[in-house]
Amino acid sequence: MTTRLRDARRARSLSQLQLAELTGVSRQAIAAVELGRSDPSLRLALALASSLGTTVEELFGDAGTRPTAVVEPLAPLGRDGSRVALAPVAGRLVARPLDGERGARSGFATAGGLVGSRPGTVQILGAIRPAVVVAGCDPALALLDTPLGLCDPPVCLLWHSCSSRDALELAADGLVHAAGIHLHDASGESYNQDALRVLGPGSRLVGFAGWRQGLVLRRDLDGHVRDVADVAALGLRIVNREPGSEARSVLARAAARVGLDPATIAGWSSEVPGHLEVAAAIASGLADAGVASEPAARAFDLAFVPLTVERFDLAVPPIHAGSTEVRALQSVLGSAWLRSQLAALPGYDATGCGAEHVLDGHVFDEHAVGP
């Protein structure tokens, strides 16, 4: 019983004092219940369950049951018993599904809980460590994990791979500490107004990396394809990104420039969730071409035709600006270690990594990005 109360408190990154303040009792009272020296009154049991987003039965019921918590999903949760990663964000517990590629990109990822039978709940498997929750499509975000673990205090990384649009919406809902974005308007000009409109004044843009984005092609097509018109003329099959991704928009704009309806290109209706997935589909022979970053193409030794130059920045909502997690993220983004790691990845430009802008209604110039 007492272990479940302690685990539920730690899962939400609450100290005994913080939980005591939420429930209107002393820290000593919380400690006594956790140590088994005191049984909670009905009023305290109800207050504890309410503060921890669970039930009295799950906190103080029969032994052998796991504590259950209400969560905010970053993406639709799977069926009952599906594995999820968990992290506390500003007093809420967010859950990232670990099904499919999310949980097995390079081995199975550690789960913090299992999807519960009640909608929006999970069974917590154990204590949950503080984590920086970042949403975005750049696979280089995985580099943040090691240095974040060396911060004082150490924090984990929970990276949710998704489109820039989805990342921005998650940030607007307060469910992630930072959203990776590289959005453009219909003309292809980069702008920050979306971040300002969605996240509000006082939001921060922190530089991460730059790259060229373009057509990724089978190696034998090198020199035979110059633009999207050639893709269509040769009857090549593309692999596309999901709606809301900048890669999908880049492909649509490139097709429009040569007078093509992008929906007529073979494979337009296909969808994969990231740059590396585009390159992997082409390398495995499932497609002939697609739009992704140059680093993804070079990682799979594929041909590449540049279409645009982009920056990938991390947008931080004002509500998270002073949090321990964001301070740790800022220290890592400004480190020479991260810049050297990014520079060592073929196709990445680390210029401006860690540079910050505060959005106050003005559109800032993009960082210069080399070829």
Q: What stretches in the chain show pLDDT beneath 70? A: 1-2, 42, 57, 61-67, 100-107, 127, 183-196, 360-371
Q: What is the pLDDT of residues 260-283, one digit of tens each?
A: 999 999 999 999 989 999 999 999
Q: Are 282 and 216 in contact (CB under 8 A)?
A: yes
| Residue 327 DSSP class | H
Q: Residue 370, Cβ neighbours under 10 Å: how many?
A: 8
Residue 78 confidence (pLDDT) = 83
Which ranges constitute the DSSP H helices of 153-204? 164-172, 193-199
Instruction: List where CATH 1.10.260.40 sits in the chain.
Output: 2-66
Output DSSP code: residue 98: -
Give per-residue pLDDT as tens, 341-358: 999 999 999 998 999 887
Predicted local confidence at residue 8, as pLDDT: 83
Question: Tokens representing 154?
Answer: 């150490």
Structure letter (DSSP) for residue 318: G
Superfamily holding 2-66: lambda repressor-like DNA-binding domains (1.10.260.40)
Record the tokens describing residue 155, joined without a space. Answer: 């924090």
288 token code pair = 């002939």
Residue 31 to residue 254: CA distance in whole angstroms: 62
The C-alpha atoms of residue 134 and residue 138 are separated, in whole angstroms, by: 11
- Amino acid 62: pLDDT: 63
For residues 363 and 352, give the distance between their C-alpha atoms in angstroms, rounded to a whole number.
Answer: 17
Q: What is the DSSP string of 22-50?
A: HHTS-HHHHHHHHTTSSPPPHHHHHHHHH
For 192-219, letters b (16+ CB in 10 Å) and e give bebbbebbeeebbbbbbbbbbbbbbbbe
